[in-house]
Structure 1
Amino acid sequence: MVSKTLKASSVNTIPTIQEEESLLKQPKAVWAVFFACIIAFMGLGLVDPILPAIAEQLNASHSEVTLLFTSYNAVMAVAMLITGTVSSRLGIKWTLLTGIVIIALFSALGGFSNDIWTLVGLRGGWGLGNALFVATSLAAIVSLSNSGTAKAIILYEAAIGLGISVGPLIGGWLGAMSWRGPFLGVATLMVIAFIGLFILMPKSKTPTNAVKSKTSLMDPFRALKHRSLLVFGITAALYNFGFFTLLAYAPFVMGLDEHGLGFVFLGWGILLAITSVFMAPKLQQWFGTIKSMCMMLILFAIVLVLMGIWTSTQWVIIAAVIFSGSLLGNNNTLITTAVMNAAPVERSTASAAYSFLRFIGGAIAPFMAGKLAEIYNSSVPFIVGASFVFISVVFIWFNYKHVKHVDSVESIH
């Protein structure tokens, strides 16, 4: 399973075949982070079913409402650059707890806001907390796990999938009562996550391969000098144009109420979770990481094109959104694993550098989708999103020689 020692960092050690254990046989600290990840990523899905309701009740345009994703992702992209510095000083546990507190605070304040611009600003604060939590939680699970990098990433992606899939269902239920409900719901869930993490993740249990020295603010930029990490980051930024076009704009064209949108994104999230855990390892084993990624991205671009052609046909949009979950689940696991093995830098630094680039795409895409629809029509955002995803495939193939080594470092299965 692991044939070579990971060259990525002198502080990273990968278990040998004999040392690796089952995916489910993890330390208590790993399950604490896993549980917190599920609740944290519920926040993304909780808000999605209420986007049309927010637009209507706050008298906001579709492009203004999509700024809820733009401010969130923009702040998260920049904040990713400081996560390594913060976590090297506070430690993994307290960085996670700090992120959770910030998320809870800003989501609660969002639930009491009365205009779209206040809400947009508060979502930016939410993005800051999410940056601290997301970057550190990935590094924590990978570092604390005793089953190897690839299986740890599958566990992380499973937590994301579970959170994203359950979130819309809860968001649709709470949102049917009031658009404020999901914001207050996130705050409540974050309190639960805080308590669980505080109790179940002892401070004394630090990974043997944890970062021993304090990291610099410049480390993520230095990491991007490695061509492989830069290629994956730019690829993810381009691919996120399609991802967040679907996530932020599809709710406006489905013609469903909060409950309906909740069930659609529940199906999307379930497929995302299942494929990230069970299908991605098989694809990587059969075709290799890069080829599998490109296949998933090409199929996702085709789905977006179909959504652009049949935007006014409700069942097509619903089916396309749900099916896309399977493509996104596979791709997320594949590219995250590749990033962890891409360059000779610490994993937390690699995650921060990669996330900085990918969330730039996630910041631009939602607002751009809303504006394109207002200027032209509701089909254009999906066609443009598909174009960016196609470009990401071309880009990674032009740089194939710089990234093909990830399969020789560690396989997902």
Structure 2
Amino acid sequence: MPRLSMKQMPRDVWVLSLVALLVAVGFGVMVPVLPVFARSFDVSQFEVGAVISAFALARLVMGPFCGRLNRAIGERVALGIGIGIVALSTAGAGLSRSYLQLLVLRGAGGIGSAMFSVAAMTLLLASVGPELRGRASAAYSGGFLIGGMAGPAVGGLLAAISIRAPFFFYAGTLVLAGAAGLALLSRSQIRPTDKTGEAALSFADAWRRPGYQLACAANFSTGWQAQGARSTLVPLLVVEVLHEPTSWTGVAFAVAAVVQAVVLQPAGRLVDTRGRRPMLVAGLLICAASSALIPFASNMAWLIVILCIFGVGSAVMSTAPTAMVGDVIGGSGGTPVAVFQMSSDLGSIVGPLAVGALADHYPLPIAFGIGAVLMAAIGIWSGSGLRRTNA
């Protein structure tokens, strides 16, 4: 296989990475603000959580319709419309005068987010051949990661001006992202024979491929463990077990995110050159082992080290499953891409609820351990197929 460099990456990959960066910066701006804004309507903590969950739930419900809808109107147009829906709903949420208005508008944003994310993933996979899918996935994930790192800091500064200001900033970054996508992405329609010459797979056909099943299962487990155990329980661990101020949670997550960002491109290169399954197995087992160790960290230094190791595994998990899906569907889009995205959304919804319930009744190692066992089991399942031809 000839040696390929990032310079040979198609323009659409860089445009989509820029779009991801702009979307993630805006979304990150909302992280420190949204719960506080919802609470300002004098509602319960459960109702605050409902505002946050409404976005993810709407994404999940909209997911099954995105493949056919996006193909009907074109992925580039669907990306622009989806981002536009999120922008309008976000600006409306910033003007909300009641809790119900905020809840409904956040849910509406999830509909647009589903359209955007499925269209963007379809365009990404169709823009490159199999020899570059790992690195293309790394570039795209890197846009989200860097934007997500910068966003909360900007959100904190904007909140000092007004609790509503971050909503309008987010809407602005979304307008820029949508404009960039519509103006800079190639205008060619995704065809069933793009890149491979093979007909596009239906979801039923894709699901029969072990590689696709593994990718969806891995995506679900990553959503569960990253959004569930890590994001939900680590802040509690820092404050209630290690007896450190809340600010240390942000420091730990920021350091781990930097490590993940640094490892993304090498991970993508290995996914392309060493194979999808071997790297998927490595990523799953690294995440499983490190997350199982998190509750046993005796101080902040060890916790940061363990979270950095988890970040290395997460970098692999940001690239290998996506590349596997691209191999299965041959660069075309449709429902298989939507379901792949939905698997992560489902894990992100179920995970926090499950680990929260476990942490209420059992020690923290149990809550962390369930997700670790899930990831390890999927890794072993993937490893059992290493000697077979990749699906």
TM-score band, normalised by the shorter chain? 0.7 to 0.9
> Are 2:178 and 1:191 aligned?
no
**1:326 matched to which residue of 2?**
312
Letter in 1 for 2:347: G
Q: Where does residue 275 of structure 1 map in the other structure?
A: 263
Distance 2:30 2:303 in 1: 19
CA distance, structure 2, for counterparts of residue 326 and residue 75 of structure 1: 30
1:89 maps onto 2:72 in alignment:
yes
Paired letter, 1:164? G
Mean Cα deviation higher: 148-157 or 51-60: 51-60
Query: Is the CA contact (8 Å cut-off) linking 1:166 and 1:269 kept in structure 2?
Result: no
Please, which runs of 5 or more residues in structure 2 have no aligned partner? none
| Distance in 1, Cα, partners of 2:300 & 2:32 | 16
SS at match of 2:173: helix
Contact 1:290 1:404 survives alignment (8 Å)? no
RMSD: 3.9
The question of whether the paired residues in 1 share the 8 Å contact of 2:56 and 2:110 is answered with: yes
Deviations 1:248-287 (A, max 9, x none): 554566559998766554434332222121234347756x
Q: Tell whether 2:281 aligns with 1:294.
A: yes
Quick one: distance in 2 between partners of 1:260 and 1:57? Answer: 26
Displacement after TM superposition at 1:159 (Å): 2.0
For residue 24 of structure 1, give the secondary structure of its aligned residue in structure 2.
Answer: helix
Percent identity of paired positions between Structure 1 and Structure 2:
20
Whichever residue aligns with residue 345 of structure 2, its letter is: F
Alignment correspondent of 1:384 = 367
Q: In the alignment, what sits opposite 1:209?
A: 194
Partners in 1 of 2:58 and 2:388 — Cα distance?
32
| One-letter identity of the residue aligned with 2:286 | L
> Counterpart amino acid of 2:340?
Y
- Confirm whether residue 73 of structure 1 aligns to residue 49 of structure 2: no
Match of 2:327 in 1: 341
Cα contact 2:57–2:107 (8 A) shared by 1: yes
Give the residue type in structure 2 aligned to 1:352: A
**Does the 8 Å CA contact 2:128/2:195 hold for their aligned counterparts?**
no
- 2:289 and 2:257 map into 1 onto residues whose CA distance is 20
Flag structure 1 segments of 5+ consecutive residues without an equivalent: 2-16
1:362 positional shift? 1.2
Paired amino acid for 1:231: L
SS in 2 for 1:98: helix
Contact 1:228 1:402 in 2 (8 A): no
CA contact (8 A) 1:307 1:320 kept: yes
- Kept in 2, the 8 Å contact 1:110–1:183? The answer is yes
Deviations 1:195-219 (A, max 9, x none): 222322353587882899x989xx4
Matching of residues 13-162 of structure 1 within 5 Å: 17=2, 22-50=5-33, 53=36, 57=40, 64-113=47-96, 118-145=101-128, 148-162=132-146
Residue equivalent to 1:351: 337
C-alpha separation between the residues in 2 aligned to 1:116 and 1:370? 24
- Report the CA distance between 1:59 and its aligned residue: 5.1
> Is the 1:165–1:267 contact (alpha carbons within 8 Å) kept by the matching residues of 2?
no
Task: Give the structure-2-normalised TM-score.
Answer: 0.80
Matches of 2:35 and 2:332, distance apart in 1: 42
The alignment's TM-score, normalised by the length of structure 1, stands at: 0.76
Q: Deviations over 1:60-81 (max 9, x none)?
A: 5655544445333332233222
Aligned residue number for residue 13 of structure 1: none
Q: Give the secondary-structure state (helix, strand or coil) at the position aligned to 2:149.
A: helix
Does the C-alpha gap of structure 1 residues 272 and 351 become closer, same or farther in structure 2, counting only changes over 3 Å?
farther
Q: Is the 8 A contact 1:176 1:258 kept in 2?
A: no
Q: Distance in 1 between matches of 2:46 and 2:323?
A: 34
Going from structure 1 to structure 2, the CA distance change for 1:220 and 1:241 (only over 3 Å counts) comes to: same
Partner residue in 2 for 1:235: 218
User: Does the 8 A contact of 1:238 with 1:358 survive in 2?
Assistant: yes
Q: Is residue 100–residue 129 contact of structure 1 (8 Å, CA) maintained in 2?
A: yes
Distance in 2 between residues matched to 1:154 and 1:326, nearest whole Å: 12
CA contact (8 A) 2:281 2:382 kept: no
